[in-house]
Amino acid sequence: LSTRSPLGAGLILIAFAVVAIAIVLVPAHLVRRVSGAHHAMVAGVHSTSQTLLRFAMLVLIALMAVSALFELDVVLGAFVAGMLLRQLLPHDDRTLLDKVEVAGFSLLIPVFFVTSGMAIDI
């Protein structure tokens, strides 16, 4: 954000926050309102459909894309996705957290290190 004026940087961050909250809360609100959607989402937690994990990955990708569109670091999008998704979960439920950790440690983190290593010119 150092290339922008303080006002421009503030406006970009406010716009990003509004879009990020909308990306998470609008679908969550719709799942609660549409009959059967909440049941289908919860029923798919322990099946091959993995609906909550897919929703979490969709939120992650969407917020990373939005942060790239706003010319922010994509890590900010990933961080905000984690913060917002954690607020939607019951505090004692680790089901989704455990599944996201498995996906992160087995796929996302290795891909990050491989792409980072490929950018190094030895």
Q: What is the pLDDT of residues 4-13, one digit of tens each?
A: 788 888 899 9
pLDDT at 114 over 90: no
Q: What is the pLDDT of residues 52-72, one digit of tens each?
A: 888 888 888 999 999 999 988
The C-alpha angle 76, 18, 64, rounded to 5 degrees, equals: 30
pLDDT band at 1 (very low <50, low <70, confident <90, very high): low
Q: What is the pLDDT of residue 26?
A: 87
Average pLDDT for 83-103: 80
How far is it, in rounded angstroms, from Cα 27 to Cα 33? 10
Q: Terminus-to-terminus CA distance in the chain, angstroms? A: 29
Q: What is the pLDDT of residue 55?
A: 84
The ranges assigned to domains in the chain are 6-92
Q: What is the pLDDT of residues 8-46, one digit of tens each?
A: 888 999 999 999 999 888 888 887 888 887 777 777 777
Of 6 and 90, more confident: 6
pTM of the model: 0.73
Q: Which residues of 18-44 are buried (b: 16+ CB within 10 A; e: fewer)?
A: ebbeebbeebbeebeeeeeeeeebeeb
